[in-house]
Structure 1
Amino acid sequence: MANSQKRLVKSRSGLRMVFVDEKIASPFTKEEPPWVPDNDCSHCQNIECQTKFDLLKRKHHCRRCGKCFCDSCSNNVIALPRMCFIDPVRHCMSCFLVTKKENEFFDRHIKNLIAGGRFRIHADESNTNPGKIFSCLLSSDHRNLNFEGDIGDTQEKICIDKIDAVQIAAAETDQQGNLIGTGIAIRYTNSIGNMVMLKMEVENGSKRKQSMTWIASMQKAFKLVQDSKSTGYDP
């Protein structure tokens, strides 16, 4: 995405590279929280610590939740791409564990979604038609699922923000006994405002494993988008 669509902002928490227009922001991002006012913090907000702040015991704010902690309870420094921080920032322990898990999504799962998978698409719930084969890929701005098929075959893109539900529609067991998704159902609001259920079955071939990985990554993406829509800041 062009740098002209982003701007550098400085807050109490640090430097962030944010989108100029929220309408084109990645649906996976989340706004930084307001800080709990210093006057409202007399003790560390880690319930297992509750150290009283004084001249020697300074208070620090977790950049993810905005709460006050002593240095020992907030000395975890890690990258926070979810909130667009340029440099690694201070976290309390609870937020550190959440961010560490989320960073796996930004490091690995987004790449899986952009690489795409190959599926047989059923645009109705009856599955009476054989469906057509498309490659489904996350757009580079993370805002849409795009479909690429044979000449003459079309499937409208899905806006990530308009997805209402993601469910595994079919699965198989791997050698370790784990269930691996081989089909996924996505319910979303289409371009004319109708609720649509799209069923996608992994197509046999050289991209079968990649497509099953895509399904697992799509499940994580949906959970992250739902969390981004929430207004709370607790981890």
Structure 2
Amino acid sequence: MAGSEKKLERSKSGLRMIPVSDTDSSPFSLPEPPWVSDDECKQCQNCRAKFDFFKRRKHHCRRCGKCFCNDCCQEKVNLPRMLFLDPVRHCQVCTEISRKEEDFFEKHLKTLLNGGYFNVTESDMGPDEGSLFFLKLSANHRQLLFEGDNDKREPVQIEKIDTLQILPSGKDEEGNTLAGGIAIKYTDTTGGTNIIKMMVDSGGNKKPGQIWIAAMQKAFKMVYDARAK
């Protein structure tokens, strides 16, 4: 699937590369927050120091939109969820959040886009009744795509996934539970509810599939947390 068409946009917070069409927006992205107005912010919203024009000027965090003094909002951090091209100013709390998310965009998102082989079954089917699919995230991050040699499945919309459950497959030498697959409950294009199980292909190296599952779990949490706000 080809990537979505994008355009360069300059906002008061910085340069952003955004999709031309809203239908191509990533479910992992966030809109820019409105800035707290100058009239409502006479002091730093962290340390409570009063602003003045010369020594203690106000700055807005690009992630939360609140205003702070320079000491409380001096870090410039990458903010891929808002599609900024360069690092932008963050408050102390938002700095930690964005830095944790960087790992997802730099590593786990690439894993999901690269895909892996899984045995896919409906919830009421036995483990030997499924079909092998190459499962990957679409280029615009909106769908899980199922590529099979013989069978076909409609894509699953990421934003339509209601629950995700890790399915264990034994333990490693240190006693840690190994992920053998995932079960997802989602709403299809007709409005119906479906549950499918996607088990790591047992015919080859299981490690790539297990890494894909871990990345999918992080992706679902990111979408779920944004949905809950």
The answer to whether the superposition gives a TM-score over 0.5 is yes
Cα distance in structure 1, aligned partners of 2:223 and 2:10:
25
1:122 and 2:121 correspond: yes
Describe the shift of the 1:107–1:195 C-alpha distance in structure 2 as closer, same or farther (beyond 3 A): same
**Structure 2 contact 134–148 (Cα < 8 Å) conserved:** yes
**Structure 1 contact 118–208 (Cα < 8 Å) conserved:** no
Describe the shift of the 1:67–1:172 C-alpha distance in structure 2 as closer, same or farther (beyond 3 A): farther
Query: What residue is the counterpart of 1:190 in the other structure?
Result: 188
Where 2:71 maps in the other structure, the secondary structure is: coil
**Structure 1 contact 170–182 (Cα < 8 Å) conserved:** yes
Cα distance in structure 2, aligned partners of 1:156 and 1:204:
24
**Structure 2 contact 3–140 (Cα < 8 Å) conserved:** no
Describe the shift of the 1:171–1:91 C-alpha distance in structure 2 as closer, same or farther (beyond 3 A): farther
1:20 and 2:41 correspond: no
Shifted more, 212-221 versus 162-171: the winner is: 162-171
Please tell me the residue identity of whatever aligns with 1:211.
G
Shift of 1:109: 0.4
Deviations 1:181-234 (A, max 9, x none): 21201111112221100111112133410000111100111111223435x5xx
Cα distance in structure 2, aligned partners of 1:219 and 1:86:
26
Query: What residue is the counterpart of 1:140 in the other structure?
Result: 139
**Structure 1 contact 27–228 (Cα < 8 Å) conserved:** no
Query: What residue is the counterpart of 1:44 in the other structure?
Result: 44
Cα distance in structure 2, aligned partners of 1:183 and 1:45:
45
**How does 1:217-232 map onto structure 2 within 5 Å?**
217-230=215-228, 232=229
Describe the shift of the 1:177–1:78 C-alpha distance in structure 2 as closer, same or farther (beyond 3 A): farther
Shift of 1:180: 3.1
What is the CA RMSD across the aligned residues, in angstroms?
Answer: 1.8
5+ residue gaps, structure 1: none
Cα distance in structure 2, aligned partners of 1:206 and 1:129:
17
Deviations 1:10-34 (A, max 9, x none): 2221111112221111111110100
Shift of 1:129: 5.2
Cα distance in structure 2, aligned partners of 1:197 and 1:115:
24
Please tell me the residue identity of whatever aligns with 1:119.
F
Identity of aligned residues (%): 47
Query: What residue is the counterpart of 1:101 in the other structure?
Result: 100
Shift of 1:2: 5.3
**Structure 1 contact 63–89 (Cα < 8 Å) conserved:** yes
**Structure 2 contact 3–139 (Cα < 8 Å) conserved:** no
Q: How many matched pairs?
A: 227
Describe the shift of the 1:52–1:95 C-alpha distance in structure 2 as closer, same or farther (beyond 3 A): same
